[in-house]
A = this chain, B = another copy of it.
Amino acid sequence: MASETIVLFGGSGYVGKAFQRHLLRRGIAYVAPSRKEVDLLRPDSIAGFLGEVKPSFLINAAGYTGRPNVDACEDHKTECLLGNAALPGVLARVCAERELPWGHVSSGCLYTGDRGAGPEGERLGFREEDPPNFCFRTNNSSFYSGTKALGEEILADAGGCYLWRLRIPFNEVDSSKNYLTKLLRYERLLDVRNSLSQVDDFVRAAIECWDRRAPFGIYNVVNPGSVTTREVVELLERSPFGRQLIGAGKRFAFFPGEEAFRKVARAPRSNCVLDSTKLQGVGIHLEEVHEAVERAWNHWQAEAAA
């Protein structure tokens, strides 16, 4: 692998940077061109670049998520549609023409809720083959989720492609896209149950799909299990230094319920549990979600202390 080159689009975002760190750490050669170097909406521009680099694999971590949050997508529908639905389609065509295998950072935000309770009371997650229930077609989603689902729909017939579903990323790197950063910064939180993706676990698992030549297709790349916002907050508060990092006087405030949250949020939010047994079935494992959160928070504290 080390003599081959990977092309990474969207390398400057939170997930893209995690891919870069992972590739660097493993000594895998890659190029991450800027939007100025490659026009991601022009097949000829992409094809020209790929013709020069001759990569063995391509990763698309580019997409439009909205700043400061997903509400911004409601005001930037065109960019959102271009980045999340059209771009994967353009890449699929270019990659198919070159017979270049590739992977796309998709999202678990096409679901809401879970699949009920399991034998031990745990919440069962949606599987890869479950049709999205939070998208344009179910007419209940944010514009963002609609475009991500449309992107998956456009890639449904694409061979040679992984769709890695990310769900609420986090790690120890302070970033506006990091779930832990959000929890620390938001004035009020909504107590909901979700699957999460430790972002460094996510990128490692994504590349491992290709390393292991796992069958192409959709994979829920999340840490097994699910957590509620309160569980994560309690975990953050547990250690004395964590408490100090949060701010000695700060108390996490919660919305009384979803209705109160909806009054301040423009777009509906996806809160959902995903099942990751398909990924486990190809031999790729992520840490249990509570443990992954605890580890990230420990690292965060260690870095803050250093």
Contact = CB atoms under 8 A, between A and B. Distances in A.
A274 interface: no
A92 interface: yes
Interface residues of A, number: 21
29 contacts: A41-B41, A41-B42, A41-B82, A42-B42, A77-B89, A77-B153, A77-B154, A78-B86, A78-B89, A78-B90, A78-B92, A78-B93, A78-B154, A81-B81, A81-B85, A81-B86, A81-B89, A81-B150, A82-B82, A82-B86, A86-B86, A136-B136, A136-B137, A136-B146, A136-B150, A137-B137, A137-B139, A138-B139, A139-B139
A137 B139 CA distance: 5
**Number of copies of chain A assembled together:** 2
A145 B169 CA distance: 34
Interface of A: 39, 41-42, 77-78, 81-82, 85-86, 89-90, 92-93, 136-139, 146, 150, 153-154
Nearest to A137: B139
Given A78-B86, A78-B90, 6 more contacts: A77-B153, A78-B92, A81-B81, A81-B154, A136-B150, A138-B139
Contacts of A137: 136-137, 139
Among A42, A78, A154, the one with the most B-chain Cβ atoms within 10 Å of its Cβ is: A78
Contacts of A146: 136
A39 B39 CA distance: 12
A191 B128 CA distance: 41
Nearest to A149: B136
